[in-house]
Amino acid sequence: MKLNVGTIRSDNTGFDSIADIAEKTQNLWFESVELDFSYCGFFEANMTAPLYTVIAQLRDGLNDVSIAKVPPGVSTILRKNRFLSVFNQPDLVDTNQTTLPFKIFKLNASDQFNDYLETYMRGRGIPAMSEGLTKRFRQSLLEIFLNASIHSDSKSGIFVCGQFFPQKHRMDFTIADAGVGIRENVRKYTGKEKLNSCKAIEWAMTEGNTTKTGNQPGGLGLKLIKDFIQMNKGKLQIASRFGYYEFSATGEFIQKMAHDFPGTCINIEINTEDTSSYCLGPELTSEDIF
């Protein structure tokens, strides 16, 4: 079976295109699947994390997955961020240090995820943050990881990738899983079996709502990140099943996607044109204060 992969960007259309591939392959077992990139004019490298949710599900079904006809420019990007090494293609050295490499984490690999953040979540256009805020920001990212670890039921782990786009003045950091999705967790917690994907995401993004039980982390770990994104004029995107959510300084919206995106993907887009310095309120050392 051959499927075309077109141009993919970090937007509703990009997530829906990946969801379309997922739908077309969801019932395959013991097949050979070729992802043909012939018509891919551009692929934003951080989107390899959500793309891998489809590949992971195919591999869980014991399908053989291959990638073919990747245009040279796209191949360079996906070799620099180490995604194509999953398909036994050699990496390229990222001399410009714009990538946060694609990595598959086991569900219990929070220490390795922390090491990844320590290594790659500095520089790459990220605005200056105090030591205290840097620690809290990474803790928020860890909460997202732990939430996926505990609630996703993803058999294949958690997929992480990022990319700094100097000319577009943004840095995207993406965490995805091939689990049950936000809708299933919220339905189970609230008892509302007919709750759709958009309403479930809306519930999960409402402050105070959480599916936390016992000592498990609650919510999606996004409160501090949303506060930062609002001041930074960045963007937060969530795709899960048929729901797509976007938050920015200008507001938020939720809309239904045409196709069923497997699992959950959270993308944090930082505006790298922001020259402000940030800190936590109690530190009182910066012009911008949380």
- Measured CA to CA, the distance from residue 69 to residue 37 in angstroms comes to 5
161-172 per-position pLDDT tens digit: 999 999 999 999
**Parent domain of 190:** 2-289
Q: Which amino acid is at 10?
A: S
Mean pLDDT value of segment 129-136: 91
What's the pTM?
0.92
Single-letter amino acid, residue 177: D
- Per the CB < 8 A criterion, the answer to whether 68 and 37 are in contact is yes
> What average pLDDT score do residues 195-212 get?
86
CATH number at residue 168: 3.30.565.10
- Our count of domains for the chain comes to 1
Q: What is the pLDDT of residue 153?
A: 84
Distances in Å between the Cα of 96 and the Cα atoms of 77, 80, 93, 156, 163 are: 12, 10, 9, 31, 11
Average of per-residue pLDDT values in the chain: 91
Cα–Cα nearest to 56, from 25, 79, 78? 25
Cβ pair 162, 99 in contact under 8 A:
yes
Asked if residue 212 lies in contact with residue 204, where contact means CB atoms within 8 angstroms, the answer is no
Residues in the chain, total:
290
Looking at per-residue pLDDT, the higher value among 151 and 62 belongs to 62
| pLDDT digits 0-9 by tens, 223-281 | 889 999 999 999 999 999 999 999 999 999 999 999 999 999 999 999 999 989 998 86
